[in-house]
Structure 1
Amino acid sequence: MSSPPTQKSSTSPWILLALASGAFAALNGLFAKLTTDQHTTSFARSLAHLFGLESSPFLELLVRGLCLGLNVVCNIIMWALFTRALTAGPSTTKVSITNTASNFLATALFGMVIFQEAVGGLWWLGAAMMGAGCILVGMREGA
């Protein structure tokens, strides 16, 4: 007795894996920057104030250590997702392009939201040109 044919989902799993790995790569960079950035000092002071504690170098060191730990965890998750996407994907080029695009956009969004970095029109034009180039390379790979 044969089993009925299974229906494929409209979204390939490699795409979601590659997008997620790019997002975790951006988070990895975010936490790496927060490990050494001045924003972490402000955050530690805000935490101390919120809980009615005195601001201390120990609390700041603890927050920086947490950021470093999250950096490592995000890096591990990113590599796990990326290697799964490579295994499931139709080509390494398409997976790499998808991962890079996701990382690029997530990094820009984190920079704007968390670090109040200005991302001007020229940056978006450059990002669009890079994206178009990635799409052209991906199309060359075939379906």
Structure 2
Amino acid sequence: MNLAHLPYFAIISGLFGTAASVFGKLIQIKDIQFDSNQTDLFWRCSFKAVYISLMVLCNMFVWTFFVKSLHQPGGSIVATVTSTATSYCFSAIIGSWIFHETISSVWWLGFIFVITGLLFVSLDIND
């Protein structure tokens, strides 16, 4: 595979998709301890507003870079598979690292299938 033809924009799109999902999950976390007074309610709402804004901003970047990736060699198939695989894989890794989610052996098997499929789809027949 020629490194000049790697789907960089699709990978960036997938990474922003991962970031958007992290911010979406942070909106729902209730582990941050606040008192019930008005100042703490203000901070809780402020954190949620920031997380929502960051999630929307990341989703805007997802689509910006995904559309750019559609114009790269390989077209829509490579862009879709690469962006999806990147987002899927990094979401699981970040989920395990930040949110302490467990990753089962079935997930690892699926991860291997996704990466293998990504490699098969991304291979250039002319190389």
TM-score by length of 2: 0.83
* 1:138 Cα deviation after fit: 4.0
* Aligned with 2:83 (options 88, 99, 108): 99
**Equivalent residues in 2 for 1:1-143, closer than 5 Å:** 10-12=3-5, 15-39=7-31, 42=32, 45=34, 56-139=40-123, 142-143=125-126
Letter in 1 for 2:28: T
Letter in 2 for 1:19: I
Q: CA 1:66–1:83 in 2, change beyond 3 Å: closer, same or farther?
A: same
Tell me the C-alpha RMSD between the 2 structures. 2.4
SS of residue matched to 1:89 = coil
Residues of 1 paired with 2:125 and 2:3: CA distance? 19
Q: Deviations over 1:1-55 (max 9, x none)?
A: xxxxxxxx9433x62111110000111111111112224xx1x75xxxxxxxx97
Cross-structure match for 1:4? none
SS of residue matched to 1:34 = helix
CA contact (8 A) 1:89 1:95 kept: no
Percent of aligned positions with the same letter in both sequences?
24
Residues of 2 paired with 1:107 and 1:62: CA distance? 25
TM-score by length of 1: 0.74
Residues of 2 paired with 1:55 and 1:128: CA distance? 48
Instruction: Please identify the structure whose Cα radius of gyration is greater.
Output: 1
More deviation in 87-96 or 20-29?
87-96
* 1:65 Cα deviation after fit: 0.6
Q: Deviations over 1:72-101 (max 9, x none)?
A: 000001100010011123221111111111
Q: CA 1:118–1:21 in 2, change beyond 3 Å: closer, same or farther?
A: same
Structure 2: segments with no counterpart, 5+ residues? none
